[in-house]
Chain A
Amino acid sequence: MSMSHVDDGMLHAYLDGELAPVDARGVDAHVAQCPDCRRRLDEERALIARATELLALATPPDRQVPPFRAGDVKAPTRVWWRVRLPLAWAATVALALGIGSYLGREAAPAPQAEMATDSAAARARSLARREFRPEARGTVGTPAVAAPGSAAVSPAPGGARADNIARPRPEPVESKAEGERPRELAAKIAAYKAASDERDAWQKGDAISLDSARHVLGGDPVVVPGVPVEAFYLGRGVGYSAVVIVQQALDSSTMIEVINARPGSLLLDQVVVSGAAAVRPDSGRPTESRQLVPKSAPQPLRAAVQASPNLFRDVRGPLSPDSLAALRRRLRPLGP
């Protein structure tokens, strides 16, 4: 080290205190006896100071660090999707499986009718709209998941509903290649999923009173202060046990909506377990598997609601992202 000069990179690492002790001692020793490197060391030290100074000029106006509370942090939309997509998938797949296995059981004597799965998938879609979606209104959260299982696999065979599903044309379906059916089914499911995702984002339901809103949320809804509140609506979103949408009028033509959503403690594994149990009604213990749905899921849910009043909040409206972000920062609980 004392023979060769110290290169710039090493000098900077040395000055930054990032050189291993043994290397640092080498630089010390070399600089002690090399006036050239001593001069360079001073130059580089000045350079670092100057660069740091310049960078300090390029700082944003100093503001207070906002408090960090998990419920306060604006939950990014992607988190929402991440929670919701698997749920939608699980529900859709459970629904399709339920209908599929039911049909399979019914049609067991006539093997050809098994091919009706295709039209069953189409049924599943319309059935899903009729049965699954209204139930997903999410007052407690679980019905959204319980619905597909129980509706599709209602264990009373030959009932009116079963007729409804099973009747679809025993028409001869030409036999297709083995791999074709699952792929078509998957495409249909995907199409349904995409369509429902579009429509599902915070669907607005009935108008409710402030008192009801408080009751549903277990506290005051947040609003943008100083902006007249037009109305409160019950909303829904998969993964949230309670949703209130507050409509506020920025001016005569601009309406914004503040979303207050209480997350349901609905876990994906609960979804899969309860759905799977309901899918096999002929497993010998139908009563047990049906109890599993209402009992296991809502119980922890209630506890969680009391424990964490953390709400998901968001603002939507016909404004630029910057403006919406500014509004989000202003959100405050609505006073009495």
Chain B
Amino acid sequence: MPQDLAEIYRTTYRALVRFLYRKVWDAERAEDLAQEAFARAVVHKPDNARGWLFIVAANMARDDARRAARERRHLTLLKAEPQASEPAAADDALHAESERTHVRAALEQLTPRDREVLLLWDSGLSYEEIAAQTGLARGAIGTTLARARRRLVDVYEAGQRGEHVARG
């Protein structure tokens, strides 16, 4: 196995899982897809492996989204793997879950392109790499990110306010 790919795996695996998670919203699925992306990289030996991995991952996530709805209807027999969640942590977990849902809802209010740029930046890609991957001009990345960040925060805060109003 190429040495540099092992290094990229070490440094990028988590970022790739996070990137995928924000697309498929299923931790296990995200890990599977990340593993598969790396398995493909082993075969293809791409030049810019990091950028390549995110492109492949984005494509797989898109394909996966189409299948996901169909698959979820099936009984997932062995889904309940041993999980290290103590009962005491259940409250925290619930809270985290609800916040996740809100961020997800906010992310989904972004245009696909803005969302992609934001997620790629958050995965550690440079403007240069993001430009290469999205086909945007390098000079447009800052503007896109500015818009995406503002929209994310605005929608999220608006959602929180709405909820408090509804509760109060």
Contacts and interface: CB of A to CB of B under 8 A. Distances in A.
A4 to B, nearest CB: 16
B80 to A, nearest CB: 9
Nearest to B27: A60
A331 to B, nearest CB: 13
7 contacts: A51-B148, A59-B21, A66-B35, A68-B6, A68-B13, A73-B39, A322-B76
A50 B152 CA distance: 9
B103 A68 contact: no
B142 A61 contact: no
B150 interface: yes
B103 A55 contact: yes
Interface of B is mostly: helix
Interface in B112-150: 118-119, 121-122, 126-127, 139-150
Interface of B: 1, 6, 9-10, 13-14, 17-18, 21-22, 27-32, 35-36, 38-40, 42-43, 71, 74-79, 81, 96, 99-100, 102-104, 106-107, 118-119, 121-122, 126-127, 139-150, 152-153, 156
Given A9-B146, A57-B103, A18 B126 contact: yes
Contacts of A73: 35, 38-39, 42
B78 A58 contact: no
A28 interface: no
A326 B71 contact: no
Contacts of B149: 12, 47-48, 50-51
A319 B100 CA distance: 29
Contacts of A321: 71
Nearest to A69: B1
Nearest to A75: B39
Contacts of A11: 142, 146
B71 A320 contact: yes
Contacts of A58: 21-22, 100, 103-104, 107
A171 interface: no
Contacts of A78: 40
Contacts of A156: none
